[in-house]
Amino acid sequence: MASRAMNVILRSHLSTSSRIGCAARINKNISTNESSPIVSKFSVSELADKVAFCRCWLSSKFPKCDGSHVKHNTATGDNVGPVVVEKPKK
């Protein structure tokens, strides 16, 4: 389940970045010194009951959402929001 959730998150990041079509880096707080792409992995058991992951790449709490997309949406007319992952209720 965690793997499937992370695949959804990564696909949404790719979709968002291609839709914005930026030639410049979006989030300069993320290191580019890595030789491979940065991937954040979480086990569902490690997460709170509900967590929002950033898709705009502007969050100061990346990979978690801090609401930065609101300012981005206002400035650009975009409609991006977070990916919300919830634990299944038992």
Average pLDDT over residues 65-83: 91
Residue type, 81: G
Please indicate, yes or no, if residue 66 is contained in any of the structural domains.
Answer: yes
Please indicate, yes or no, if residue 67 is contained in any of the structural domains.
Answer: yes
Residues in contact with 87: Cβ distance below 8 Å, sequence separation at least 6, in sequence order: 44, 47, 48, 49, 50
- Domain of residue 81 covers 1-21+46-90
Which comes out higher in pLDDT, residue 51 or 48? 51
Domains in the chain, number: 1
Q: Report how far residue 46's alpha carbon sits from residue 10's, in angstroms, rounded to the nearest whole number.
A: 18
Residue type, 61: K
SS (H, E, C) 45-68: HHCCCEEEECCCCCCCCCCECCCH
Residues counted in the chain: 90
Assign 62 a pLDDT band (cuts: 50, 70, 90): confident
Residues 36, 71 contacting (CB under 8 angstroms): no
Average pLDDT over residues 43-72: 88
Q: Is the pLDDT of residue 81 over 60?
A: yes
Please indicate, yes or no, if residue 70 is contained in any of the structural domains.
Answer: yes
